[in-house]
Amino acid sequence: MNIITVKDAQEGGQKAFNIFKEALADNAKVFGLATGSTPITLYEALTASDLDFSDKTSINLDEYVGLAPDNPQSYHYFMQQHLFNKKPFATSYVPDGLATDADAETQRYDDIIAANPIDLQILGIGRNGHIGFNEPGSPLTGKTHKVPLTQSTIDANARFFENEEDVPRFAYSMGIGSIMTAKHILLMAYGENKADAIQKMVEGPVTNHVPASALQNHNNVTIIVDEAAASKL
């Protein structure tokens, strides 16, 4: 793992932006994208730039089950607001939160990933070491699936909702196996509350108790962390 320590999320976003630029120069066609507060500085740098994604494809990691694309808490909406409105891709895929047939939806998404191999995958990390919505206990080789969210993730994401009860209890998420097929993985983490997860991901055993530890088995991973997130390494 190539670890880059930065002073803050602003500098991290700039470094991540440079990695995006290199990927484009390298002819990358498919970008795996993530939501959450972590990638926002990257998306700001992308939208402020003159980079062009109009002939590229994006595939998002996950979506809450039950939220429509125009629901402001949905990941569809997040991506429109933070990136796609200003920087459109030729095609952007996000799981369909309103799909009621989970098997059909997860199969549809796996087919999309198989048809569009990911060149650069962006990741954040949950406090419990989750990536996408692959919670502790998820198989490290899994494909897209419907996941029950853990209480820790519900609590962490409650800040975006009016009441804790409004946080969806399930999500559709790309699996760790699908994430591992990306040619290059870029994980970002900022702040003290990510320090434990980063320490376990980098130095701990590879275990499905810490889903991000699977990245130790990938040969091209870059991690951008600020000093607080790196403080337990």
- Using CB under 6 A as the criterion, which residues of the chain lie in contact with ligand GLP when the complex forms? 34-38, 61-62, 124-126, 132-133, 153, 157
Q: How far is the CB of 32 from ligand GLP (least distance, A)?
A: 11
Kindly give, in sequence order, each residue whose CB lies less than 8 Å from that of residue 101, ignoring residues fewer than 6 positions away: none
The DSSP secondary-structure symbol of 70 reads T
Using CA atoms, how far apart are residues 121 and 32, in angstroms rounded to an integer?
A: 4
Unique residue bearing structure tokens 């804790």 = 164
Contact 206, 214 (CB under 8 A): yes
Q: How far is the CB of 39 from ligand GLP (least distance, A)?
A: 7
Catalytic positions are 62, 128, 130, 135
In this complex, which beta carbon is closest to ligand GLP, that of residue 125 or of residue 210? 125
In this complex, which beta carbon is closest to ligand GLP, that of residue 26 or of residue 148? 148
In this complex, which beta carbon is closest to ligand GLP, that of residue 30 or of residue 212? 212
Q: Which two tokens stand for residue 55?
A: 């002939």
Contact 60, 39 (CB under 8 A): no
In this complex, which beta carbon is closest to ligand GLP, that of residue 59 or of residue 125? 125
Question: For residue 146, which of 122, 115, 170, 112 has the smallest C-alpha distance?
Answer: 170
Exposure of 150 in the CB half-sphere (CA atoms within 13 A): 17
